[in-house]
Amino acid sequence: MDFNLTEEHLMIQQAARDFAQTELLPGVIERDEHSKFPTEQVKMMADLGFLGMVVDPKYGGAGLDSISYVLALTEIAKIDASAAVIMSVNNSLVCAGLQKYCNEEQKMKYLVPLAKGEVLGAFCLSEPEAGSDATSQKTTAIDKGDHYVLNGTKNWITNGSSASTYVVIAQTNVEKGHKGISAFIVEKGWAGFAIGPKEKKMGIRGSDTHSLLFTDVIVPKENRIGEEGFGFTFAMNVLNGGRIGIASQALGIATGAYELALNYAQQRKAFGKEIFKHQAIAFKLVDMATSIMAAKMLCLKAASEKDEGKDISQSGAMAKLYASQVAMDTTIEAVQIHGGNGYVAEYHVERMMRDAKITQIYEGTSEIQRIVISRTLVS
């Protein structure tokens, strides 16, 4: 792997950094406090091409590589993890899956507006009794000839109310277990499709998370992705790529908290000198910087392997597992370095600590990542 970023990579990174600093930072505390969706900022991300970064230009995307995606997403997450998860879901879980597995008609109808950022997408896998265990789907889609009838509930869906296009995983043949799971594209506004109340969350409060309820929703046959029974394979392959997005979010949160802590340690004085000059603080910052660098290398390795067409089951899970732990550890230490100031909203790090925790949970907990990695070790 070549660790040297190209000029294009650096330009994309700088563009994302400038956007985050000028457009996301000013209102990020208010959006967190009031659980306010960043509507205007998401429109700006669309204009910058950040909502369909790796999609082929013929389908409305920016046609960039996965390394560019990691760099941009990291810069967004450094400032606003809520905006980052909106961007990540649309790119990693929706656009990437549609581009790889949909037919041409589906791509033109659904992928193009998603990649352009004209609409947002949501990925609907988790259920009340099937979070990390994707094989235990209770949502069903019964074949009725020229259409399916969809019934069930999906939980913890990012972009739950802001999306217009939903990728829904459902059981089409219960007797076949995970081999009887299929994937569908569902549109907002279809009869029987209802959006539940917005979840009140510890972190990433600017993103909208909802339960979705499907009651006798008629889904046309042409909205099935791939063959019947392909849904589990589709979901697992999409999640493999999605872990790069989560790892990048975690890396961004950790980097943002570290930079704030480093700056604060050079300004704050105690016992007659800047606290950075006390070994107790300096060593914390050293450990933070070292862990962040290691997480960054794992993220770039996974992204590079994805661009090379390699199996990223291991590298993606490793990046997600490690980067999410680094995000949690780093934000905790950033609060500690800030002392009492770290416990109030004005200094940002308390929000980052709350935001960091979810990176260890969504798209498979840390325990699930270890299971994924362990299987690749023996295979």
The reported pTM is: 0.95
The CATH homologous superfamily of the domain defined by 239-377 = Butyryl-CoA Dehydrogenase, subunit A, domain 3 (1.20.140.10)
The structural architecture, per CATH, of the domain 122-231 is Beta Barrel (2.40)
122-231 matches 239-377 in fold: no
The mean of the pLDDT values for the chain is 95
Return the active site residues: 363
The class of domain 7-120 in CATH terms is mainly alpha
CB 181 within 8 A of CB 172: yes
Lowest mean pLDDT among 61-65, 132-136, 229-233: 132-136
pLDDT-derived band at 44 (thresholds 50, 70, 90) equals very high
| Distance from C-alpha of 93 to C-alpha of 27, rounded to nearest angstrom | 27
- Confidence bin at 107 (pLDDT 50/70/90): very high
Cα→Cα distances 279→138, 266, 275, 293, 335, Å: 55, 13, 8, 21, 17
User: Would you say residue 122 has pLDDT above 90?
Assistant: yes
- pLDDT-based confidence at residue 132 (cuts at 50, 70, 90): low
- Domain ranges (residues) in the chain: 7-120, 122-231, 239-377
Sign, CA dihedral 258-260-262-268, equals negative
pLDDT in tens, 287-305: 999 999 999 999 999 999 9
Q: How many CB atoms lie within 10 A of CB 355?
A: 31
At 38 the three-state DSSP class reads: coil
Do residues 316 and 296 lie in contact, with contact meaning Cβ atoms separated by under 8 Å?
A: no
Residue 156, CB-side half-sphere exposure with 13 Å CA sphere = 16
